[in-house]
């Protein structure tokens, strides 16, 4: 399989699954997908982010050596919502190295607080923050405050992710 051609072929669930199956349990193939994700051409970056997130869901260890580049890419100005959404989505499944947890928390707090951020990005950010709160319970009051501020203006998806925080 020529991965770049497959990514450009079409943007569909079926094509995403084809790429995820091709990567399978291979770190080397995942690294190839990750390299295309970072390449910068918007269509390749957007389309590769979707299977990338599913690969990490199935094999969280795949992303272990890529955190620096992953977070740098996420914090680039003008990064597309699809890239943000799938990057934060994959962080839900990853064991985030300690040295990157502060950056991830900051990114997720900013995403939830932003009035212009897409709801899926906010919802995934809440889940990542919830996972980090297990290691850093001192962030729970800040998460709850943020959730209460956002709740009246958010969708059902956000409210469903926010509910556990309010019940704690």
Residue 43: give the domain boundaries: 1-95
66 plus 129 within the same structural domain:
no
Q: Out of 51, 79, 95, pick the residue that ends a domain.
A: 95
Same domain, 9 and 79: yes
Q: Cα separation of 130 and 72, whole Å?
A: 22
Are residues 80 and 124 located together in one domain of the fold? Answer: no
State how far the Cα of 23 lies from the Cα of 12, in Å rounded to an integer: 17
Q: Which of 47, 74, 95 is the last residue of a domain?
A: 95
Give the tens place of pLDDT for each residue, 46-98: 999 999 999 999 999 999 999 999 999 999 888 999 999 999 999 999 999 99
pLDDT at 24 over 90: yes
pLDDT tens-digit series, residues 93-135: 999 999 999 999 999 999 999 989 999 999 999 999 999 999 9
Do residues 88 and 133 share a domain? no
Asked which of 95, 116, 135 is the last residue of a domain, the reply is 95
Count structural domains, the chain: 2
pTM for the predicted model, two decimal places: 0.91
- What is the C-alpha radius of gyration for the chain, rounded to an integer number of angstroms? 16
SS3 state of residue 1: coil
Instruction: Judge if 103 and 159 occupy the same domain.
Output: yes
């Amino acid at each position: 399989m020529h991965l770049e051609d497959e990514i450009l072929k079409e943007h569909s669930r079926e094509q995403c699954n084809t790429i995820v199956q091709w990567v399978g349990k291979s770190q080397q193939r995942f690294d190839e997908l990750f390299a295309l994700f970072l390449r910068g051409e918007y269509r390749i970056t957007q389309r590769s982010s979707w299977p990338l997130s599913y690969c990490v869901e199935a094999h969280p260890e795949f992303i272990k050596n890529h955190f620096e580049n992953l977070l740098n890419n996420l914090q680039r100005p003008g990064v597309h919502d699809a890239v943000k959404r799938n990057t934060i989505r994959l962080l839900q499944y990853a064991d985030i190295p300690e040295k990157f947890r502060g950056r991830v928390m900051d990114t997720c707090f900013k995403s939830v607080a932003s009035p212009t951020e897409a709801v899926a990005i906010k919802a995934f950010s809440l889940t990542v923050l919830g996972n980090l709160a297990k290691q850093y319970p001192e962030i729970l009051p800040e998460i709850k405050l943020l959730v209460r501020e956002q709740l009246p203006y958010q969708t059902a998806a956000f409210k469903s992710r926010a509910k556990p925080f309010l019940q704690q």
